[in-house]
Amino acid sequence: MEQGSAREGVRPAYAPGAFSRAPAECRMPECRVPEQARGEQARGEQAGVERAGGRPADREQARGEHTHSEPPAPRVVQRHSVRGQILDALRAALVDGELVPGQVYSAPALGARFGVSATPVREAMQRLAVEGAVEVVPNRGFRVSERGPRELAELAEVRALIEVPVMMGLARTVPAHRWCGLRPLAEATVTAAAVGDRAAYAESDRAFHRAVLMLSGNEQLVAVADELHRRSQWPLVSGPASRRADLLADASEHTALLDALVSQDLAVVQALVREHFAGADR
């Protein structure tokens, strides 16, 4: 799927206040034993010692019996993933071209845009830096990585080397009803493409490919392929943004592929899969 850089000044898809104003850092509550519970535990241990005649071995046995009969209450941990929401929003902005390749963005400025502090934005940007989507610029912020058509073609080639043989193997072994279960995911890509929503299409496109590969049962393969797929969706440094017609063409290949997989038409499956990845480097 072709990606291009967007013009500056495009209205942000995520305005301040789009996320709940949860604290940037969530402190885990300490697990304390109430005073009353501690008193009851101490009295129980003392009673066990008195019944056992005060001998050390019996004291340990009494303590063990008490522990097994009254297990501690489970600890309840609540997490507020502000960073996760910001990370998803930044990835969508990358795909949409709202974060322009080559431009530097500061964490405080992006935090003001999203209505949160700079801390979760900085943490999310650090994650994107690990993925290669941005580069850290000391004392300034983060620069969106610049990519050319050659990198996109290389990613498509590597993805094809991984996914094509896996899909062909699955086409020979997976029953038809399992493929029918993926129909809603394929239709979601068509829906996103029809309205020209590049961010929604990118997410639904990855969800479809991920679901297909998960049928292999190889979690490591799924993780590697998904990461390569995500990187292939970042915008190019130059060139037009993906047209709605291009998105619809890609989405239609998903539904056609499912039809061929259900009927176990291996020749059509192979042709569609190779064509799909050949078009991914456009």
**190-203, pLDDT tens digit by residue?**
999 999 888 899 99
What is d(CA 53, CA 110) in angstroms, rounded to the nearest whole number? Answer: 69
Non-local CB neighbours of 197 within 8 Å, separated by 6+ positions = none
Residue 200 backbone zone (phi > 0: left; psi -120 to 50: alpha; other: beta): alpha
Q: What does the pLDDT look like over 235-252, one tens digit per residue?
A: 776 554 567 788 899 999
Q: What is the chain's mean pLDDT, rounded? A: 76
The candidate with the shortest Cα–Cα distance to 254, out of 195, 164, 202, 190, is 190
d(CA 123, CA 215): 33
Nearest to 90 by CA among 35, 39, 52, 127: 127
The residue among 67 and 148 whose pLDDT is bigger is: 148
pLDDT at residue 212 tops 50: yes
Tell whether pTM > 0.85: no
Indicate if the pLDDT at residue 20 is higher than 50: no
* Cα angle, residue 192 at apex, residues 103 and 278 outer, rounded to 5°: 75
pLDDT > 90 in the chain, percent: 46
Kindly tell me if the per-residue pLDDT of 132 is higher than 80.
yes
| pLDDT above 50 (res 89) | yes
Q: Is pLDDT above 60 for 157? A: yes
* Interatomic CA distance for residues 58 and 52, integer angstroms: 6
Q: Which residues contact 190 (CB under 8 A, 6 or more apart)?
A: 248, 251, 252, 254, 255
